Amino acid sequence: MITGLIVGIIVGFVAGALVTRNNVDEVNKVVLETAELLDKAEKELKELKAKKKPATKKKTPTKRKTTTKKTVKKPQVD
């Protein structure tokens, strides 16, 4: 059981190395494209941070009209 696991790991490693060796050019292209996209994204992020949102003007509080509660006078009962 353990021997099969070790053999499987070794075979997988060798197969991965062979596939990678055959596709080195494609892998390098992908890595370069990714690096370019990363640089572009970082530049855009810096630009966005530089374009700060203008500060919003706070509204001045308006005076509230105070309302008085109207009370109804009850008639006196004798």
Question: Are 26 and 33 spatial neighbours (Cβ–Cβ below 8 Å)?
Answer: no
Rounded (10°) CA dihedral 39, 43, 44, 46: 140
Task: Give a yes or no: residue 27 inside a domain.
Answer: yes
Has this prediction a pTM greater than 0.75? no
Count structural domains, the chain. 1
| Residue 34 falls inside a structural domain | yes
Of 1 and 47, the one with more pLDDT: 47
Report if residue 14 sits inside a domain.
Answer: no
Q: Which residue has the higher pLDDT, 17 or 63?
A: 17
Does any domain span residue 63?
A: no
- With respect to residue 55, please indicate whether it lies within any of the assigned structural domains: no
Domain extent, residue 28, equals 23-50
- Asked if the structure places residue 3 within a domain, the reply is no
